Amino acid sequence: MAEKRIVYSICAMCTGRCPIMVEVEGGVIKHIWGNPHVFGAKSLCPRGAAGVAFEYDNERPQYPMIRDGERGSGKWRRVSWDEALDFIADKLKNIIENYGAKAIALSDRGGPHAELHKLFLRAIGSPNYFTHHATCSNSVHNAHMSVAGHARNTVGYDYKNCKYMVVFGRNLLESLVTGEARNVIEMINSGGKMVYIDVRWTYTASKAYKFFIINPGTDYALALALINVIVNQHLYDADFVNRYVVGLDYLRSFIQPYTPEWAEKETGIPAEEIRKIAYEAAEAKPSVIFHPGWMTAWYSQDFHFRRAIYILNALMGSYEAKGGIFISKGAGDAGYKIKQPTSIAPAPKEERCDGAGTKYPWIRGQWGILQVLPEVIETGEPYAVKAYIAMRHDPLADMPDPEVWIKAFDKLDLVVAIDVNWSWTSWYADVILPEATYLERTDNVIVRKGLKPQLALRQKVIDPRFDAKSRFQIFKALAERLGKGEYFPWKDEIEMVNWQLEGTGFTFEDFSKKGVIDLTKDPIWYDRNNLKFNTPSGKIEVYSEFLEKAGVPSLAPYERPEAPPDGMLRLISGKVAVHTQGRTTSNNPYLNELCPENYLYIHPEAAKKFGVKEGDLVEVSSNGASEKIRVRISPYVHPEVAFMLHGFGDPVPVRTRSFGKGASDVRLMKGKLKVTVGGNCPLFETFVKINRI
């Protein structure tokens, strides 16, 4: 009989990092479940379950490769790991000698599993670490840092106890993380009310108590009108506000023009409904969440809109309240210290090349502003950047204007893609390093922050099926070749894990029992009478001296977003429950079958205007770029909007299932590698024409 095993680990089919339980029989993965010790149930999202299909798919890079033709020609030469690593190390040495280590940039998916890439950059002395957040949550993050001194993700939402939640385009049940979606459903099943605001219908809308289709990009007007009612009608939590909020008088005088009647004209949401939301939320306070979203951070004024949402939460007193927003507790709150690999090397002293933290003092350097990198490469300003490493990141597929990236790559001496799939970026790289998949490698220990912090570990379930290496092996080997081996002092991943756990009384073996290690039995809440925010004043800053000094108003006057010119629609994109982003899952055998291509959703009025019918193939064009896609007509899309799922129009021919299917949104978002005040690309300020083919 074949040997059966259960291995607990962490999913990586998206960045939700759900704890999983993997069933292995005779060395073959049979099924991936949710970890019942964490979730109380074994179900997972469809992508998590499709990890088995990903693992056993052969359509992925199977060995290291060096380019053997023009960039993008798809011509590769199989090489050994030694040859690939020597090739990269020689180029990097040369670049360091001529331009300094700061000429090496790396981008990744951020988060707690980025430790080893960050350590590598620190070891060589480059400050140019970037994340994907320029097209994800930069503006939400920077807004929260300025209001409360917290990152977007260092607070959590107590959905289960929440009585009233207002959600602005955060598609919680489709753009989902398994545990969060479950908690939202539990909230609704136990009588909590969700108001959902989007520019189109989504599954999240179907679970809402009220759903409004808002005029695109006008949510800031809605937030200001809600603040207007709450402040003028004294609906706020006066105790909390008096104790913790700096700038109430400033807020009061600022919001006077922004009445519900004014906001009705901007947003299309009736003034009476806006008043009702304010009163109903106040009735439920402090068990209220004004959800700040994850991204949708794609309009120019987004930073100020997100600040307004956090201010609404402060007015409701929902910080650290049951059913509100809680500050996520880490290992330290439970009396433990977990060592992080990055702590081994000092932070680089050189200035970043993107201006985060310097030219833009309020945009935090730890996530970076990746959209400026192509320009830095092209101009050599403020200094030369000569190498780029895409580590678990696909900027060509997930950032606007792939052509601009491809052109910038031509100025580089080295482009490396470290991936588990054929990403679009890997197709234009000089070297492809196949990473061992999440089921084939062990990563660093992470802390699952929350009310009950836990330790969790991604563990190797099976040996790599192909000639792949873990990120630990890759970055350690590169550091050693560059004479920086002392920064990777561990023999292997297990030694690193045990080093991280030193002094806690736990070891690697402890993860085998149930996959996670509980650091506390009971939820940890801070004393609401004694909260500290990490802002200069230690309080929630409606008025921020720091911003004002940097030339950014604490509260900015609302600006109406530019409307699509005549004969054009606004292009909006988003996720579907069965796919992850650009290239992680679109070629997955199971998931591709469920959702093989995207469609362009438009309103019947728009369909009439363009003379198109359901199912017609159309050419969508913008700014010289054009894509072909089929139309779907729905009355539940804003008449100004053309919506498509993100991540289609795959240009990489070796991905035979997804190649050429549907349209690419990023190709149409030309000219959007811009820096908004929050540090994001204003993707949804793209206008398109539609022509029937």
Ligand X SMILES: Nc1nc2c(c(=O)[nH]1)N[C@H]1C(S)=C(S)[C@@H](COP(=O)(O)OP(=O)(O)OC[C@H]3O[C@@H](n4cnc5c(=O)[nH]c(N)nc54)[C@H](O)[C@@H]3O)O[C@H]1N2
591 part of the interface to ligand SF4, by CB under 6 A: no
User: Minimal distance in Å, beta carbon 70 to ligand SF4?
Assistant: 35
User: Minimal distance in Å, beta carbon 395 to ligand SF4?
Assistant: 21
CB closer to Mo ion out of 65 and 399: 399
Cβ–Cβ contacts within 10 Å for residue 455, how many? Answer: 24
Pairing of strands 28-34, 19-25: antiparallel
* Ramachandran bin of 244, using left for φ above 0, alpha for ψ from -120 to 50, beta for the remaining angles: alpha
Give the interface segment with ligand SF4, choosing from 10-18, 157-165, 417-425, 470-478 (CB under 6 A).
10-18
C-beta of residue 195 within 8 angstroms of C-beta of residue 166: yes
Binds ligand SF4 by CB under 6 A, chosen from 7, 8, 9, 11: 11
Residues 123-162 interacting with Mo ion (rule: CB under 5 A): 136
CB closer to ligand SF4 out of 177 and 372: 177
CA dihedral 346, 347, 348, 354 (to 10 degrees): 170
Give the interface segment with ligand SF4, choosing from 14-22, 340-348, 533-541, 622-630 (CB under 6 A).
14-22
18 part of the interface to ligand SF4, by CB under 6 A: yes
Q: Residue 680 and residue 399: Cα distance in Å, rounded?
A: 10
Binds ligand SF4 by CB under 6 A, chosen from 14, 85, 227, 578: 14
Residue 178 binding partner per list ligand X, ligand SF4, Mo ion, none, with a CB distance cut-off of 5 to 8 Å that depends on partner kind: ligand SF4
CB closer to ligand X out of 241 and 263: 263
* CA neighbor of 493 nearest in space, from 464, 465, 457: 457
CB closer to ligand SF4 out of 43 and 256: 43
User: Minimal distance in Å, beta carbon 615 to ligand SF4?
Assistant: 31
* CA neighbor of 345 nearest in space, from 132, 92, 115, 151: 115
3-state secondary structure of 219: helix
User: Minimal distance in Å, beta carbon 156 to ligand X?
Assistant: 15
Number of residues that bind Mo ion (CB under 5 A): 1
CB closer to ligand X out of 102 and 575: 575
* Rg of the chain (C-alpha set): 25
* Ramachandran bin of 437, using left for φ above 0, alpha for ψ from -120 to 50, beta for the remaining angles: beta
Number of residues that bind ligand SF4 (CB under 6 A): 13
User: Minimal distance in Å, beta carbon 551 to ligand X?
Assistant: 26
397 part of the interface to Mo ion, by CB under 5 A: no
Token pair recorded at residue 388 = 């780029």
C-alpha dist (Å) from residue 559 to 215, 258, 499, 647, 683: 13, 12, 52, 30, 17
C-alpha dist (Å) from residue 675 to 68, 375, 573, 622: 35, 12, 19, 20
Question: By rule CB under 6 A, what string of x and - marks binding of each residue 132-171 to ligand SF4?
Answer: ----------------------------------------
User: Minimal distance in Å, beta carbon 137 to Mo ion?
Assistant: 6
CB closer to ligand X out of 135 and 544: 135
Q: Which residue is nearest to ligand SF4 (CB)?
A: 48
Residues 439-468 interacting with Mo ion (rule: CB under 5 A): none
44 part of the interface to ligand SF4, by CB under 6 A: yes
Provide the β-strand partners of residue 620.
627, 690
C-beta of residue 59 within 8 angstroms of C-beta of residue 420: no
CB closer to Mo ion out of 16 and 662: 16
* CA neighbor of 625 nearest in space, from 402, 357, 356: 402
Residue 18 binding partner per list ligand X, ligand SF4, Mo ion, none, with a CB distance cut-off of 5 to 8 Å that depends on partner kind: ligand SF4
C-beta of residue 472 within 8 angstroms of C-beta of residue 496: yes
* CA neighbor of 130 nearest in space, from 321, 370, 450: 370
Residues 45-74 interacting with ligand SF4 (rule: CB under 6 A): 45, 47-48
User: Minimal distance in Å, beta carbon 614 to ligand SF4?
Assistant: 31
The residues binding ligand X (CB under 6 A) are 12, 14-15, 109, 132, 135-136, 168-171, 175-177, 197-200, 202, 214, 216-217, 219, 293-296, 391-394, 398, 418-421, 423, 435, 438, 572-575, 577, 579-584, 646, 665-666, 669, 683-684
Residue 581 binding partner per list Mo ion, ligand X, ligand SF4, none, with a CB distance cut-off of 5 to 8 Å that depends on partner kind: ligand X
CB closer to ligand SF4 out of 95 and 177: 177
Q: Which residue has the tokens 């200035």?
A: 351
161 burial (CB, 10 Å; 0-12 / 13-18 / 19+) is middle
Cβ–Cβ contacts within 10 Å for residue 597, how many? Answer: 17
Q: How far is CA 63 from the centre of its chain?
A: 29
Give the interface segment with ligand SF4, choosing from 9-17, 121-129, 264-272, 287-295 (CB under 6 A).
9-17
In order, the DSSP letters of 552-592 are --SSPPP-PPPPPPTT-EEEEEE--TT--TTTTSTT-HHHH
CB closer to ligand X out of 442 and 504: 442
Residues 178-197 interacting with ligand SF4 (rule: CB under 6 A): 178
CB closer to ligand SF4 out of 178 and 686: 178
Token pair recorded at residue 356 = 């985060």
* CA neighbor of 111 nearest in space, from 366, 450, 437, 404: 366
CB closer to ligand X out of 286 and 647: 647
Q: Residue 133 and residue 676: Cα distance in Å, rounded?
A: 13
595 part of the interface to Mo ion, by CB under 5 A: no
Token pair recorded at residue 537 = 């004043």
CB closer to ligand X out of 197 and 321: 197
User: Minimal distance in Å, beta carbon 337 to ligand X?
Assistant: 27
C-beta of residue 576 within 8 angstroms of C-beta of residue 595: yes
Token pair recorded at residue 138 = 């930069």
- Max intra-chain CA distance, the chain: 76
CB closer to ligand SF4 out of 113 and 306: 113
Pairing of strands 210-213, 193-198: parallel
CB closer to ligand X out of 220 and 543: 220
Q: Which residue has the tokens 């759900």?
A: 18
Residue 169 binding partner per list ligand X, ligand SF4, Mo ion, none, with a CB distance cut-off of 5 to 8 Å that depends on partner kind: ligand X
Give the interface segment with ligand SF4, choosing from 15-23, 117-125, 194-202, 619-627 (CB under 6 A).
15-23
User: Minimal distance in Å, beta carbon 627 to Mo ion?
Assistant: 22
Residues making contact with Mo ion (CB under 5 A): 136
Residues making contact with ligand SF4 (CB under 6 A): 11, 13-14, 16-18, 44-45, 47-48, 176-178
